[in-house]
Chain A
């Protein structure tokens, strides 16, 4: 038995990323400590190569490994996004890990493995493959969360994430086993056939669908399956938090959408109704609870929950009764657009938090931002930019993302949902601008006045530059991204 070469070529980027991770794990013990940065750069280099490979293959649709894996433009879009985000995380980590004195090159290896998991998730066309991807991603993330192993909070975050993550994937796997019983296969195509034939009257299909939805809802942190998010985000090292908030969320959404649309496309009205409920709860809870947070990482955690809520609007649109294929695929592409934009601004915000780390103390309480404008003009300005973008105020990219989502909702006849989203977007301005207010409108304490050091490494500057460019450029000239997202949206039946 041999594996056809064509199949391997199809998953070339995945292979390269795994290879890089393996090389890294092998080289890590033998490299002198001073040369560890080299390993990080090797990973970044790999990502750049993968980026070009994926970008070059964009637009084709290839199946591999007897239809277990599919590489279509939808998967490629997400992969490109994931490369960028992972690259930014690695660059940010180079300085951050030194600052935290957890300067272990393994860290980059785990990022690469986690990325592999995500890549498998977004291009899996079989629940088995998607499940493996989820687990690879999650297990790497569990470890990364506890990377500051001398700090109780970090380990605790890791343990919580682990228990709840394993629990939720237990639910997901049980759902998969039931759908296997109903469809006789775990291929999304055959699941779709079975779902069409049997409908939800079959309790197997029904319970399976529920469990699968819960499993994914946990990964994207939708209410009421969000409880882990703030705790884990707060405890994990900041760069890991950024990676989780952006990459794992994006990959989970990608897989979620594919499973729902390709696997359960036959019962759209049913799941879109349920997701509508989750979406509204998520919007309400994420935005309201964020208001009272005093820890900036927790605040951003709730904000990421709220953003998941916005993205869920797109999921609802994609499955809403009576919407034409055009509108439904606009729902999908608006999620893609939204999460791409969200990645840049959230990465930027977390990068700022990572940079503000002050000797020994985390710069993550809101008070640490007091009078930042006095101390570091540029830093405060960038943070303001990210906050404004997160709040969705034009001309930043955040506005474009929200605009498309709400527009999709209105087109689908869900005007009231757009109104709910708008209202909560207005509410969100309150807590984002509180950060701005603290930075610009309060005097720093004398102690803070003295503290002038920023943990700003050159690579972190690159990350910030990327994030700013994303936020501003995509806000002023979103055209290209929009057309890519539109053309690579999942083809709908």
Chain B
């Protein structure tokens, strides 16, 4: 076990120029993870390894320790496995890019943080990893720092994440106050003592954190923008691993959520809404990576929905399969972009299936998987989520999920058709240079394609698959009544799911292959809806309008105050004093009066101390001190005597 930990921490030192050590070390940790995984398979009881005592003092005692149980073992496999493949791919993809080393340093830092996140045995270690992945994501999104949009996207991602983190940290504090410990095992064992209100409060705070990290409504806007980063980053961080951290956290704390039905319902509703909402936006986007980004948001919505209906195993199942096929899709999209010399607009693609056959095939596999065509991975996991929603009587959520699934299938096939079929709309200049990617990139793609095909079978047959047995000890809802669902219902639901997927495919086929003009026609006919989708419901603009703009406006008001009100006020005092010399003039009385009659001048004070009494003039500062003093005295009097002294 110690070797294992060393292996993970070893990444930090892999500042190797070639990046080979980078993926080598990830590969090594993958092997370690594999060993661990085998160990856990043999004996699924949770094990804790404590590295050292990290924080102590007072009643707070936190160890830097790791917890290995089936849940973290599964996450480990996903993170290191997919991470390894993506690292291999990146060596090919990033070849010749400036800052190659920097890239791998960040990637490895990310892996370390992510492993801390999934392996930590207490909330604080989880939080460290949580912030660490956020930081690495920030650095990696801003990797192309010469692009202004990249820098902006990076900042946006980070600030939005910080909002979520604040919620998470608050949950940690509440947890500590209630349990006096931050270890999962001890805290979650005592959940029963909590009142429902407290459990709900903690669960909702956790949810805020999860929403921020996993890009759910209303904090999802950063994820599509995050596509400014290099494609392997999008694949690793913004599809396969980091964004699923929120799901991991919810599942990890499912005991808490089970106690708080309100929080559960919130999770489900947010998930369902996000699944549907993001899918509609995905319908009309033209940037290949943005389509995938919205599809990620939407798929994460499914996972949250699964958590919301208590289907934790299904959530993790979908997390795993999603990691496979979404990494596959992103990487093959990266391969497309690579071969088209950086072109990302699908309107400038088309007819690529002949030119880059391997990429085409793996992309198609990914599409089939995400659309839910059996027997590929996505079908099993998505179907299980929908079945759970249905049999637990969340029919509205089921409806959301079903429509979302239809849309998913539609926009993914739209993407495939526009990219790989039909007439080539590629810039002739670029067209000449189209080439298949090097094996360094295609081999990981093929491995992932294999996983996308076969990955679903670990959850087959539904409800009794191998994965369910494996995760039973950690992801079974508290007090769940195992109700047997008849095979008929399941089959029916499966049939519905298949027909939905095929329907989406069919429609896409019809619109983009059989009658290519139809899409444009529709977009004109439903111009309103089209524009709404294309502009992402104007959510970014909305946030700008209600949050960013008012802040700026406030700044302007401060400026105005400074230039007009305060300046005039001060100049008035100055004139008065000049005119009368040392004698007591009206203005001086006014000053004293202002000091004494604090209430009347509270408004002035607000404006004054707010921002720009910073006139650079000493006596203004002194005046603020005096007025502050009077205010303090006044408040104390009011407090003590219950009346105003003035």
Instruction: State which of A79-87, A361-369, A425-433 sits at the interface with chain B.
Output: A425-433
**Complex contact A479–B53 (CB within 8 A):** yes
Q: A270-B639, A437-B154 are in contact. Are A281 and B609 (CB under 8 A)?
A: yes
Q: A225-B625, A395-B132, A486-B58 are in contact. Are A214 and B632 (CB under 8 A)?
A: yes
B624 located at the interface, meaning its Cβ lies under 8 Å from any Cβ of chain A in the complex: yes
A296 to chain B, nearest CB (A): 17
B252 located at the interface, meaning its Cβ lies under 8 Å from any Cβ of chain A in the complex: no
Q: Which residues of chain B are within 8 angstroms of A200 by Cβ–Cβ distance? A: 636, 640
Residue of chain B at shortest CB distance from A217: B628
**Complex contact A395–B128 (CB within 8 A):** yes
A339 located at the interface, meaning its Cβ lies under 8 Å from any Cβ of chain B in the complex: no
**Complex contact A224–B174 (CB within 8 A):** no
Per-position binary interface string of chain A over residues 73-92, scored 1 when its CB falls under 8 Å from any chain B CB and 0 otherwise:
00000000000000000000
Q: A277-B635, A441-B151 are in contact. Are A407 and B176 (CB under 8 A)?
A: yes
Residue of chain A at shortest CB distance from B135: A393
B457 located at the interface, meaning its Cβ lies under 8 Å from any Cβ of chain A in the complex: no
B342 located at the interface, meaning its Cβ lies under 8 Å from any Cβ of chain A in the complex: no
Q: A167-B622, A485-B57 are in contact. Are A430 and B155 (CB under 8 A)?
A: yes
Q: Which residues of chain A from 461 to 493 have any CB-CB distance to chain B below 8 Å in the complex?
A: 476-479, 482-483, 485-486
A228 located at the interface, meaning its Cβ lies under 8 Å from any Cβ of chain B in the complex: yes
**Complex contact B611–A160 (CB within 8 A):** no
Q: Which residues of chain A are within 8 angstroms of B132 by Cβ–Cβ distance? A: 394-395
Pick from B151, B165, B620, B639: contact of A426, CB below 8 A.
B165
**Complex contact A394–B128 (CB within 8 A):** yes
Q: Which residues of chain B are within 8 angstroms of A404 by Cβ–Cβ distance? A: 60
Q: A426-B165, A440-B145, A479-B56 are in contact. Are A270 and B158 (CB under 8 A)?
A: no
Pick from B57, B151, B159, B173: contact of A482, CB below 8 A.
B57
Q: A228-B621, A270-B639 are in contact. Are A426 and B55 (CB under 8 A)?
A: no
A289 located at the interface, meaning its Cβ lies under 8 Å from any Cβ of chain B in the complex: yes
**Complex contact B151–A437 (CB within 8 A):** yes
**Complex contact B636–A426 (CB within 8 A):** no
A273 located at the interface, meaning its Cβ lies under 8 Å from any Cβ of chain B in the complex: yes
Per-position binary interface string of chain B over residues 48-64, scored 1 when its CB falls under 8 Å from any chain A CB and 0 otherwise:
00001111111110000
Q: Which residues of chain A are within 8 angstroms of B124 by Cβ–Cβ distance? A: 403
Distance in angstroms between the alpha carbons of A167 and B625 in the assembled complex? 9
**Complex contact A207–B633 (CB within 8 A):** yes
Pick from B165, B166, B555: contact of A292, CB below 8 A.
B555
Per-position binary interface string of chain B over residues 154-171, scored 1 when its CB falls under 8 Å from any chain A CB and 0 otherwise:
110011001101100110
**Complex contact A214–B625 (CB within 8 A):** yes
Q: A410-B177, A482-B57 are in contact. Are A214 and B629 (CB under 8 A)?
A: yes
B127 located at the interface, meaning its Cβ lies under 8 Å from any Cβ of chain A in the complex: yes
**Complex contact A394–B632 (CB within 8 A):** no
A213 located at the interface, meaning its Cβ lies under 8 Å from any Cβ of chain B in the complex: yes
Q: Which residues of chain B are within 8 angstroms of A423 by Cβ–Cβ distance? A: 166
Q: A228-B621, A418-B170 are in contact. Are A442 and B145 (CB under 8 A)?
A: yes
Pick from B127, B166, B611, B633: contact of A394, CB below 8 A.
B127
Q: Which residues of chain A from 423 to 469 have any CB-CB distance to chain B below 8 Å in the complex?
A: 423, 425-426, 429-430, 433-434, 437, 440-443
Distance in angstroms between the alpha carbons of A437 and B158 in the assembled complex? 12
**Complex contact B155–A406 (CB within 8 A):** no
Pick from B127, B128, B158, B614: contact of A429, CB below 8 A.
B158
B644 to chain A, nearest CB (A): 15
A353 located at the interface, meaning its Cβ lies under 8 Å from any Cβ of chain B in the complex: no
**Complex contact A479–B55 (CB within 8 A):** yes
Q: A214-B625, A479-B53 are in contact. Are A410 and B58 (CB under 8 A)?
A: no
Distance in angstroms between the alpha carbons of A422 and B208 in the assembled complex? 13
**Complex contact A270–B636 (CB within 8 A):** yes
Residue of chain B at shortest CB distance from A489: B58
Distance in angstroms between the alpha carbons of A288 and B174 in the assembled complex? 27
The prevalent SS among residues of A at the interface is helix
B183 located at the interface, meaning its Cβ lies under 8 Å from any Cβ of chain A in the complex: no
Distance in angstroms between the alpha carbons of A91 and B235 in the assembled complex? 47
**Complex contact B57–A479 (CB within 8 A):** yes
**Complex contact A160–B174 (CB within 8 A):** no
**Complex contact B629–A211 (CB within 8 A):** yes
**Complex contact B159–A227 (CB within 8 A):** no
A67 located at the interface, meaning its Cβ lies under 8 Å from any Cβ of chain B in the complex: no
A324 to chain B, nearest CB (A): 11
Residue of chain A at shortest CB distance from B617: A160
Q: Which residues of chain B are within 8 angstroms of A228 by Cβ–Cβ distance? A: 621
**Complex contact A210–B625 (CB within 8 A):** no
A411 located at the interface, meaning its Cβ lies under 8 Å from any Cβ of chain B in the complex: yes
**Complex contact B614–A441 (CB within 8 A):** no
Distance in angstroms between the alpha carbons of A354 and B637 in the assembled complex? 47
A168 located at the interface, meaning its Cβ lies under 8 Å from any Cβ of chain B in the complex: yes
Q: Which residues of chain A are within 8 angstroms of B609 by Cβ–Cβ distance? A: 223-224, 281, 285
**Complex contact A213–B618 (CB within 8 A):** no
Pick from A214, A394, A407: contact of B628, CB below 8 A.
A214
B150 located at the interface, meaning its Cβ lies under 8 Å from any Cβ of chain A in the complex: yes
Residue of chain A at shortest CB distance from B205: A419
- Given contacts A403-B124, A415-B173, 15 further A-B pairs with CB under 8 A are A163-B622, A206-B633, A210-B633, A214-B632, A224-B627, A270-B640, A403-B169, A410-B176, A411-B177, A418-B173, A419-B166, A437-B151, A441-B154, A478-B54, A478-B55
A selection of 5 A-B contacts at a CB cut-off of 8 Å is A273-B635, A326-B59, A423-B166, A425-B166, A426-B165
**Which residues from chain B sit less than 8 Å from chain A, CB to CB?**
52-60, 124, 127-128, 131-132, 135, 138-139, 142, 145-146, 150-151, 154-155, 158-159, 162-163, 165-166, 169-170, 173-174, 176-177, 555, 605, 608-611, 613-614, 616, 618, 620-622, 624-625, 627-629, 631-633, 635-637, 639-640
- Counting from the closest, the 4 A-B pairs by CB-CB distance are A441-B145, A482-B57, A227-B621, A224-B628
**Which residues from chain A sit less than 8 Å from chain B, CB to CB?**
159-160, 163-164, 167-168, 171, 200-201, 206-207, 210-211, 213-214, 217-218, 223-225, 227-228, 230-231, 270, 273-274, 277, 281, 285, 288-289, 292, 326, 330, 333, 388, 393-395, 399-400, 403-404, 406-407, 410-411, 415, 418-419, 422-423, 425-426, 429-430, 433-434, 437, 440-443, 476-479, 482-483, 485-486
